[in-house]
């Protein structure tokens, strides 16, 4: 067989080979390091707890109020405001009820007072005042002065006075009472609520005032025999 001649390895060749081996080792080491770094979880660094200057774990920072706890304070305040508003409303309602009750009591007292019977004296002053009260209720005009003035002229205040000498007496129907009223006139102008008796003082005055109101406008307008 023919002999094969190998090329001669020179010093330059040896140096180049050494460099290639070194470069390959560096590349392999870098690749290994990169692969190892990629396998470490990204959050590994975050799990490392901080340490203090003496090497011990640092204390946790104080926790802040959570939004839930912070929101509880205004709710408590609103509850307090609601209670105050409810109390004020209750107080106002009680005051209104008390005021209404007081008004009702006052009205009831006034009604009973108004309904209470008035006692008049059994004399000329009492008869005139009682007659005036009835006249007012029946819308019959007249005053104390008008009644008193005509009474003094007609009977001098005597409820049993009888006229036996005038034309009425001659006709058989004499004038009688405080205002000298004849029976037919009394019967026509008698006012309900008074006694049906010609010589009754109040009935006589009220009937005479009613007659005078129809004929003269008021007993106050009568100044002579009527």
Q: How many angstroms separate the CA atoms of 157 and 125, rounded?
A: 10
Q: What is the pLDDT of residues 73-125, one digit of tens each?
A: 555 667 777 777 888 888 888 888 888 888 888 887 777 666 678 899 999 99
Q: How many angstroms separate the CA atoms of 1 and 7, rounded?
A: 19
Which of residues 156 and 56 earns the better pLDDT score? Answer: 156
Alpha-helix runs per DSSP H in the chain: 11-39, 67-115, 124-137, 144-154, 167-170, 183-189, 201-216
Q: What is the pLDDT of residues 149-185, one digit of tens each?
A: 999 999 999 999 999 999 999 999 999 999 999 999 9
DSSP-assigned beta bridge partners for residue 181: 176
Give pTM, 2 decimals.
0.52
- Compute the C-alpha angle 100/105/109, nearest 5°: 150
DSSP-assigned beta bridge partners for residue 57: 51
């Amino acid at each position: 067989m023919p002999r094969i001649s190998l090329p001669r390895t020179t010093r330059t060749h040896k140096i180049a080979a050494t460099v290639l081996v070194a470069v390959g080792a560096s590349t392999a080491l870098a690749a290994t390091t990169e692969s190892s770094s990629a396998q470490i979880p990204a959050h590994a660094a975050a799990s490392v707890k901080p340490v203090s200057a003496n090497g011990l774990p640092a204390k946790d920072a104080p926790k802040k109020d959570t939004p839930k706890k912070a929101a509880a304070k205004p709710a408590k305040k609103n509850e307090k405001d609601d209670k105050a508003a409810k109390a004020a409303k209750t107080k106002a309602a009680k005051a209104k009820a008390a005021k209404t009750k007081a008004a009702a009591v006052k009205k009831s007292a006034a009604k009973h007072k108004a309904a209470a019977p008035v006692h008049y004296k059994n004399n000329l002053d009492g008869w005139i005042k009682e007659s005036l009260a009835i006249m007012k209720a029946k819308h019959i005009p007249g005053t104390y002065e008008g009644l008193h003035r005509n009474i003094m002229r007609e009977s001098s205040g005597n409820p049993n006075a009888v006229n036996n000498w005038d034309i009425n007496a001659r006709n058989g129907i004499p004038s009688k009472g405080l205002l000298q009223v004849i029976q037919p006139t009394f019967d026509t102008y008698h006012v309900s609520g008074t006694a049906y008796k010609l010589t009754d003082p109040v009935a006589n005055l009220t009937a005479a005032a009613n007659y005078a109101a129809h004929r003269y406008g008021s007993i106050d307008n009568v100044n002579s025999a009527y």
